[in-house]
Amino acid sequence: MKEKIMVVEDNPQNMRLFEMVLRVEDYTLLKATDGEEALDMAIREQPDLILMDISLPKMSGLDVTRKLREDPAFSDTPIIGITAYAMKGDREKVLGSGCDIYMSKPVNTLALPEMIAELLLRSKKKSRQS
């Protein structure tokens, strides 16, 4: 079964980069370009993992993540929060909103596929246990 990965990113260049990195794997890719679209799409599509840019139009990635975590359907969905620059306090803010992992741009595209695979594996194990 193909896992659904939702990429939330408003910068077209970064979106293309994520697409290129994830295309190598056999994932189904969903793309959202603002916070409201991300929230609607997540609820509709129930992705297996979310790559969440934090700085987004309409609703921030922090708010989208908080909203999703209020929903029991998303309590275990891996979310990777990504900020444009590593600023002091970002890690705490991003993890505090409910993201599992914090990354800052430029994203390490070599490490990303492995991280995603690992998170998917972990969440699958978790859902099998419950």
CB of 92 to Mn ion, least distance (A): 19
- Which residue has the CB atom at the shortest distance from Mn ion? 55
**Which residue from 52, 35, 127, 57 is spatially nearest to 94, judged by alpha carbons?**
52
Q: Which of 10, 37, 48, 100 binds Mn ion (CB under 5 A)?
A: 10
Pick between residue 53 and residue 100 the one whose CB is nearest to Mn ion: 53
C-alpha distances (whole Å) from 59 to each of 10, 34, 37, 39, 53 are 11, 7, 9, 9, 11
What track of x and - describes contact with Mn ion for positions 49 through 68 (by CB under 5 A)? Answer: ----x-x-------------
Pick between residue 10 and residue 37 the one whose CB is nearest to Mn ion: 10
d(CA 91, CA 54): 11
CB of 123 to Mn ion, least distance (A): 25
Footprint of Mn ion (CB under 5 A): 10, 53, 55
